[in-house]
A and B are shown apart, each in its own frame.
Chain A
Amino acid sequence: MSYAEYVVPAFAVSVAVLGIMIAQTLRAYTRAKRQLTALEKP
């Protein structure tokens, strides 16, 4: 049993999925904020 075979892929998948989740959440948030401030300007 070594790390490389299964532990690393499991870690990689976890980082990938959670990373995508975080990135997508933050991106949607900043986009929404930008849109709202643009609308609230005038």
Chain B
Amino acid sequence: MIALVLRDTRLATRAGGSAVLALAFFAAVATLVPLGVGADLRLLARVAAGVLWVAAVLAALLSLDRLFQSDFDDGSLDLIALSPLSLEAIATAKIAAHWLTTGLPLTLLSPLLGLMFGLPPQAIGVLALSLLIGTPSVSALGAIGAALTLSIRRGGLILPLLVLPLLVPAVIFGAGAVQAALDGLSNGALLLLAAFSVAVTCVSPFATAACVRLNLAG
């Protein structure tokens, strides 16, 4: 299973891979928003929590349709499925690899973007922490969407429609945590985020595997 994780990670970090794409998109959105909204740092600081969290989620979603698709298309998914690993383990490996190449880099880049939005150091810390805790849920829920849309041509188009409503709790709790740090309050958002993330990440491999099985059989 580790081998699978490493393989996917290596694939994604290559030149045309998804890791750079996610980072670039994240940075691009974070640059576009001030251009659209104005350079008032106080305003930017107020919207930073939400904007950066939404940007991170969208960036992580970008590479999701390729999670299974490329392996499915060239037949290697069938081969992987034949291996002694259960489909659930394979799903977990894919989710882990996706997070390592999207969620994690996004988390690492976030302090810089937080700075650009005028967040104070404490809020930046919470931003990074919330992304660290929350992005696994994006990968996990996204994997279900990716598996569901496997056999569809242009499946990548409806994938966001399927996955984004499910991700609402992550955005609410994640941005809420940063906002609380900004306001100097504590509202338990991080705990709620952690609970959501853990729950979703534990359940997702089963749902994902069921969807992959469904599409492989056909």
Direct contact of A and B (CB under 8 A): no
- Chain A residues near B (Cβ < 8 Å): none
- Chain B residues near A (Cβ < 8 Å): none
